[in-house]
Structure 1
Amino acid sequence: MSLRAFPLVHTAQVAALTEFYERLGFVRRLQHPEDGPSFVALQRGMAEIAISSEPALSEGGAASGPGQWRMCVFVDAVDAMVDRLSAAGVQVLQEPADMPWGERLAVVADPDGNHVAVVSMPRN
């Protein structure tokens, strides 16, 4: 039995979303077709995400819209990552802050408006 699972994001902006997640340290493992992909599989350590231009079908058969899922990405230094993302034009929804449970967390928006928490563990 495979324990592998990953979110599949449906978007009209495959290239823009792929570039966004590559800025967060994800690497392309697979893309179809080779020129102007409509499907891209990305990996960062053991984390995976797939991005597709095909519409997702909900229970009623309607395509899902943007901003309907969230992702959490751990990085070594939240502040530095948010600075790099902001410089690249990424919208910062919540500036980096220390959380009561010990993590440092910021929230950015991907090109479809999905919220992505960028988190680092406390340094000991």
Structure 2
Amino acid sequence: MKPQFDLIGLVVADMAASLAFYRLLGLDIPAGADAEPHVEVPLPGGLLLAWDRVDVIKGFDPHWTAPTGSSRVSLAFRCDGPAEVDAVYARLAAAGYRGLEPWDAPWGQRYAVVHDPDGNGVDLFSPSA
């Protein structure tokens, strides 16, 4: 069998804060997961999204350090339309999250970027009106 892409993993400093952010994006994450060291949720299409606390990673890799500077990876959430991009961004901004406010991108999409509690870029997009 050849390897199959199965899971996207995020390393988090504060599990509850990270899960609260992704709940605002609509992921169905059980409330009891906030205190867990590792959490996985299924995504549409069969992939899993997982979170691991820093102490879990350092448990098997004591030399792990958090990256510095800008991230090279982002997660992208497709929205139903430009109005939803704007509404989701507004909801996250009202909760204190920052990023790049929605704009009409030259490649034909309504686009925004919000940073999760660990600084990961989370893109919101839809086809332009």
TM band (smaller chain): 0.7 to 0.9
In structure 1, list runs of 5 or more residues that go unmatched. none
On the 8 A contact 1:55/1:64 being kept in 2, the answer is no
TM-score normalized with structure 2 length: 0.75
Indicate the structure with greater helix content. 2
Aligned CA distance change for structure 1 residues 85 and 4 (closer, same or farther; 3 Å):
same
**Cα offset, 1:35, TM superposition:** 7.1
TM-score normalized with structure 1 length: 0.77
**Cα offset, 1:10, TM superposition:** 1.3
Q: Cα RMSD between the aligned structures?
A: 2.8
Q: Give distance in 2, aligned partners of 1:107 and 1:61.
A: 32
On the 8 A contact 1:27/1:44 being kept in 2, the answer is no
Amino acid at match of 1:117: D
Indicate the structure with greater strand content. 1
On the 8 A contact 1:25/1:44 being kept in 2, the answer is no
In structure 2, list runs of 5 or more residues that go unmatched. none
Count of aligned pairs between the two proteins: 118
Aligned CA distance change for structure 1 residues 56 and 9 (closer, same or farther; 3 Å):
farther
Identity %: 32
Task: Determine the structure 2 residue equivalent to 1:82.
Answer: 89
